[in-house]
C-alpha cells in the first residue's frame, strides 16, 4: 500500500515537471488560444470581408486541426446572411442591419478536446438607399451626335483626341466624348440601367441607353419624349429606382445655302451644277426663280440643261427642309459664254505635276506625275480627241514628276529629269516612240534636275535649263541631240533659277524669265539663249515684277505675254507684262481679273490667250477663266473650269479646243479632264 502511493506521487511529479496535457498528449503542447482579432463589421447586401471573400478566424496551441462554431450571445442573434464554416471562415452577404453579439468557439483535436470561447460584436450597417443623382438628360438636335463634349486632356494623335487652338499659345487637347452619363448612389454595385417610354410617349429615335447608363446616338426625329429610366443594383433581391424625364429633340438649324459661285456655262453645251446646303432636316427641297434660258433647277438642287443664249442671268435659289424650315434665299449669276469648258473622259490615274504632249497624229501623250497618294506615276496614257477617251500606253522605265516632255522633229517624245519616289532630282531620260507605244532608256543628262524648262530649238535640239535638286538650284544648261541621243553641256545662265519659263522667239533665241532658287530668292531678271553661240545674255531690261510659277506665252506678233505667278512675298499676283524682242524690254499690260499662280495659259487659234485655273492669294484653287486680247492689251472673262484645279496640263488640240488634265483642288489630286471649246 505504501509502495503504490509512492509510485503515484512519483508519476504526478514527473507529469508536473513535463507539463503533461489534460489530453495525455506528448510533451511541449501549448494551451489552446484564439489569436485572430475581432471579426470586422459589414454592410447590408455587401459581401462580407475586406475584399468580399470573408474573414478567417485563427487559433494556436492545443492539437490541430481546429473546429469552429458560433452561437448568438445572450440577448442577440446571429447576423442574417452570414455563416461560419468549421474551418473558421465567416462569409456570406448580410441581409439585415444591426448590432449582433456573437460567441465563437474553437475546439482542438485532442482525445480530451480543449476549447476556447470569445464574445464579439459585429455591426452590420445599412447601405444608403439606391438613388438616381444625375440631372435630367439634355436636349438633342436631329443629325448631331447626342451631348458631344470634351473630356480629360490627351496627347495629340491618341484616339478621339481633339486639339483646339486657344489664342497664340499651344492648342488645348482633350478627348472628344459623346453621350450623357446617368449616375446613381447607394445600393450594391455594379448597377444596370434600362429605359422605357412613359405612358402615351415614345423613346427618342436614334438614341439608346447602355446597361452602364450612357445615353448616346444621333437623334433622327424631333419631339418631346417622355421616358422612364430604371436602375437596378446587384443586391439579392435587387433594389431598383426609377426617374421620369422629358428629352427634347429639336430640329436641326434651318438650312444654309453655300455661297460658292457656280461655274459658267457655255451656250448649246450640256451644263450641270449642284448647289449645296448645310443644316436642315433631310431631305431638302430646292426651288429657284429666274435662270438662263435652257437651264432649270431640280428639286434636289441640280441646275442643268443646255443654255440657249449668252449673257449673265440672275437666279435666286431657295431650299426648304422636311421640317418646313426655309434657308435664306441666295442670289447667283449664271454666266453663259460663247466659249467655255465641258467635261471629257477621265484619265485612268489621278495626276499632278505631269506632262501632256500633242503628238503628230493629234493624240495627246500624258506622262508621269504624282497620284492621289503622292507617289510618282509610272504609267502613261493617250487621249484621243475623236472619242474623248484616255487609254493606257507604255510605262516609263522610271516613275517621275516635275519632269519635262518634248515632242522632237522625229515625232518621238523626250522625257527627262524630274523627281523620283524619294523626292530626289534624277538625271535619267527616256524616249517615247508613238509607233510602238514604248519608252526606251537614254543616256543620262549632264545634271539631275527638276522644275526646269525644256525648249525645242529651231535646229531640232532641245535646250534644258535651270531647275535643281533638294540641295541647290542650277544655273547650268544642256542640250539634247536627237541624232545621237545624248546630252552635252552648253553655256550657263547668269542666275540659278527654277520654276521659271523659257519661250522660243521668232529669232530662234530662247527667252528665260523669272523663277526662284532654294534660298527663297525670287527674280525679275530675264536672259536670252543664243543657239548659235551657246551662251546666255541678260535682256536689256528686267521684268516689272519678281515672279515664279508664272506663264509665258508667245504671241502672234512676236512678243511674249508674261502672266501672274508668285511674288517674293509668296502671294499670287494678277499683274502681267509684255516682252518686246525688238527692244529687249518689258512693259506692263492689262492685269488679270484674278491673281493666280501655277495656272495655265494657251495661245488660241484666234490669237487670244486663254488663262485659267491656278491658285489665288489664299492658296485656294480657281475655276475662273480669262481671255487676253493682244490688240487691246486687256483681259475679259470667259467660261470657267468645271472643277477648280492647279498644276494641271494645258494642250491646244488640232481642232482648236484646249485639253485640261489632272492637277489638284481642295478635294485632292484629280483624274478628270476638260475641254475648252
297 close to 303: Cβ distance less than 8 angstroms: yes
pLDDT-derived band at 595 (thresholds 50, 70, 90) equals very high
What is the DSSP-derived secondary structure letter of residue 468?
B
Three-state DSSP class for residue 489: strand
Closest Cα to residue 203, out of 229, 177, 181?
229
Specify the range with the lowest mean pLDDT, choosing from 1-5, 36-40, 308-312, 604-608: 1-5
Task: Check pLDDT > 50 for residue 423.
Answer: yes
Task: Check pLDDT > 80 for residue 175.
Answer: no
pLDDT for 187: 82
Largest pairwise CA distance in the chain: 162
d(CA 451, CA 479): 16
Q: Which residue, chain included where needed, has cell 494623335?
A: 157
Q: Does domain 256-338 have CATH number 3.40.50.1000?
A: no
CA atoms lying within 13 Å on the CB side of residue 283: 5
- On the question of a cis peptide bond just before residue 182, with omega within 30 degrees of 0, the verdict is no
For residue 343, what are the β-bridge partners? 674
Of the options 3.40.1500.10, 2.120.10.80, 1.20.120.1750, 1.10.569.10, the CATH number for the domain spanning 493-640: 2.120.10.80
**Strand spans (E) along 394-460:** 404-407, 413-416, 429-433, 438-441, 453-456
Each residue of 638-655: pLDDT tens digit? 988 999 999 999 999 999
Each residue of 376-421: pLDDT tens digit? 999 999 999 999 999 999 999 999 999 999 999 999 999 999 999 9
d(CA 182, CA 6): 87
Contacts of 37 (CB under 8 A, 6+ apart): none
- Domain ranges across the chain: 18-125, 131-250, 256-338, 493-640
Other Cβ atoms within 10 Å of 77 Cβ, number: 12
Give me Rg for the CA atoms of the chain: 45
Q: How far is residue 43 from each of residues 48, 57, 78, 107, 431, measured CA to CA in Å?
A: 7, 19, 14, 29, 89
What is the DSSP-derived secondary structure letter of residue 132?
E
Q: Does domain 131-250 have CATH number 1.10.3720.10?
A: no
Q: What are phi and psi of 491, to 5 degrees?
A: -60, 155
d(CA 567, CA 550): 10
- On the question of a cis peptide bond just before residue 493, with omega within 30 degrees of 0, the verdict is no
Each residue of 67-83: pLDDT tens digit? 999 999 888 889 999 99
Each residue of 533-587: pLDDT tens digit? 999 999 999 999 999 999 999 998 999 999 999 999 999 999 999 999 999 999 9
The CATH code belonging to domain 18-125 is 2.60.40.10
10 Å CB burial of residue 330 (0-12, 13-18, 19+) is middle
How many residues in total does the chain contain?
Answer: 677
What is the sign, positive or negative, of the torsion defined by CA atoms of 594, 595, 597, 601? positive
What is the DSSP-derived secondary structure letter of residue 148?
-
Each residue of 500-541: pLDDT tens digit? 999 999 999 999 999 999 899 999 999 999 999 999 999 999
Mean confidence (pLDDT) of the chain: 91
pLDDT for 7: 35
| 18-125 shares its CATH topology with 256-338 | yes
What is the DSSP-derived secondary structure letter of residue 265?
E
**Strand spans (E) along 630-676:** 634-638, 649-652, 658-661, 664-665, 668-669, 673-676
For residue 665, what are the β-bridge partners? 668
pLDDT-derived band at 200 (thresholds 50, 70, 90) equals confident
CA atoms lying within 13 Å on the CB side of residue 385: 20
Task: Check pLDDT > 50 for residue 133.
Answer: yes
Amino acid at each position: 500500500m505504501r509502495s503504490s502511493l509512492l509510485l503515484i506521487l512519483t508519476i504526478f511529479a514527473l507529469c508536473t515537471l513535463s507539463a503533461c496535457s489534460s489530453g495525455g498528449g506528448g510533451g511541449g503542447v501549448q494551451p489552446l488560444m484564439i489569436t485572430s482579432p475581432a471579426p470586422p463589421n459589414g454592410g447590408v447586401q455587401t459581401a462580407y470581408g475586406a475584399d468580399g471573400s470573408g474573414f478567417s478566424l485563427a487559433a494556436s496551441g492545443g492539437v490541430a486541426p481546429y473546429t469552429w462554431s458560433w452561437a448568438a450571445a445572450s440577448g442577440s442573434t446571429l447576423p442574417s446572411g452570414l455563416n461560419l464554416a468549421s474551418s473558421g471562415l465567416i462569409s456570406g452577404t448580410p441581409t439585415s442591419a444591426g448590432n449582433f453579439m456573437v460567441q465563437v468557439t474553437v475546439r482542438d483535436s485532442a482525445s480530451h478536446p480543449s476549447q476556447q470561447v470569445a464574445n464579439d460584436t459585429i455591426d452590420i450597417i445599412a447601405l444608403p438607399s439606391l438613388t438616381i443623382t444625375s440631372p435630367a438628360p439634355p436636349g438633342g438636335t436631329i443629325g448631331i451626335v447626342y451631348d458631344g463634349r470634351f473630356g480629360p486632356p490627351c496627347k495629340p494623335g491618341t484616339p478621339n483626341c481633339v486639339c483646339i487652338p486657344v489664342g497664340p499659345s499651344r492648342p488645348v487637347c482633350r478627348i472628344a466624348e459623346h453621350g450623357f452619363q446617368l449616375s446613381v448612389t447607394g445600393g450594391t454595385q455594379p448597377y444596370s440601367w434600362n429605359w422605357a417610354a412613359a405612358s402615351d410617349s415614345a423613346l427618342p429615335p436614334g438614341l439608346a441607353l447602355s446597361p452602364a447608363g450612357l445615353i448616346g446616338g444621333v437623334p433622327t426625329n424631333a419631339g418631346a419624349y417622355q421616358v422612364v429610366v430604371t436602375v437596378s443594383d446587384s443586391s439579392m433581391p435587387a433594389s431598383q429606382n426609377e426617374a421620369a424625364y422629358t428629352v427634347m429633340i429639336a430640329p436641326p438649324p434651318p438650312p444654309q445655302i453655300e455661297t460658292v459661285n457656280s461655274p459658267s456655262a457655255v451656250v448649246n453645251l450640256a451644263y450641270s451644277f449642284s448647289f449645296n446646303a448645310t443644316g436642315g432636316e433631310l431631305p431638302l427641297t430646292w426651288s429657284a426663280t429666274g435662270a438662263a434660258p435652257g437651264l432649270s433647277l431640280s428639286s434636289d438642287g441640280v441646275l442643268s440643261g443646255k443654255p440657249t443664249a449668252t449673257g449673265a442671268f440672275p437666279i435666286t435659289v431657295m431650299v426648304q427642309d422636311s421640317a418646313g424650315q426655309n434657308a435664306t434665299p441666295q442670289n447667283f449669276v449664271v454666266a453663259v459664254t460663247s466659249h467655255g469648258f465641258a467635261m471629257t473622259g477621265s484619265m485612268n490615274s489621278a495626276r499632278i505635276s505631269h506632262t501632256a504632249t500633242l503628238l503628230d497624229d493629234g493624240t495627246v501623250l500624258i506622262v508621269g506625275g504624282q497620284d492621289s497618294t503622292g507617289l510618282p506615276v509610272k504609267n502613261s496614257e493617250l487621249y484621243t480627241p475623236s472619242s474623248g477617251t484616255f487609254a493606257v500606253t507604255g510605262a516609263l522605265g522610271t516613275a517621275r514628276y516635275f519632269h519635262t516632255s518634248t515632242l522632237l522633229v522625229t515625232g518621238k517624245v523626250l522625257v527627262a529629269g524630274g523627281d523620283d519616289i524619294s523626292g530626289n532630282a534624277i538625271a535619267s531620260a527616256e524616249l517615247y516612240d508613238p509607233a510602238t507605244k514604248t519608252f526606251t532608256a537614254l543616256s543620262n543628262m549632264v545634271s539631275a534636275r527638276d522644275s526646269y524648262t525644256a525648249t525645242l530649238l529651231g535646229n531640232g535640239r532641245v535646250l534644258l535649263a535651270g531647275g535643281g535638286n533638294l540641295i541647290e538650284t542650277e544655273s547650268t544648261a544642256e542640250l539634247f541631240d536627237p541624232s545621237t541621243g545624248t546630252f552635252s553641256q552648253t553655256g550657263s545662265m547668269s542666275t540659278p533659277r527654277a520654276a521659271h519659263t523659257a519661250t522660243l522667239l521668232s529669232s530662234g533665241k530662247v527667252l528665260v524669265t523669272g523663277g526662284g532658287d532654294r534660298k527663297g530668292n525670287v527674280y525679275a531678271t530675264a536672259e536670252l539663249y543664243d543657239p548659235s553661240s551657246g551662251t546666255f545674255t541678260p535682256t536689256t531690261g528686267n521684268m516689272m515684277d519678281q515672279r515664279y510659277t508664272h506663264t509665258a506665252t508667245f504671241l502672234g506678233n512676236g512678243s511674249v505675254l508674261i502672266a501672274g505667278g508668285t511674288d517674293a512675298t509668296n502671294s499670287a499676283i494678277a499683274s502681267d507684262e509684255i516682252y518686246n524682242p525688238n527692244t529687249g524690254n518689258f512693259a506692263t499690260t492689262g492685269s488679270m481679273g484674278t491673281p493666280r499662280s501655277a495656272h495655265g495659259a494657251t495661245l488660241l487659234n484666234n490669237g487670244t490667250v486663254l488663262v485659267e485655273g491656278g491658285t489665288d492669294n489664299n492658296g485656294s484653287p480657281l475655276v475662273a477663266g480669262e481671255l487676253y486680247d493682244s490688240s487691246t492689251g486687256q483681259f475679259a472673262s470667259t467660261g470657267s473650269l468645271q472643277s477648280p484645279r492647279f498644276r494641271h496640263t494645258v494642250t491646244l488640240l488640232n481642232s482648236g479646243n484646249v485639253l485640261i488634265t489632272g492637277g489638284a483642288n481642295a478635294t485632292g489630286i484629280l483624274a478628270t479632264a476638260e475641254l475648252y471649246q
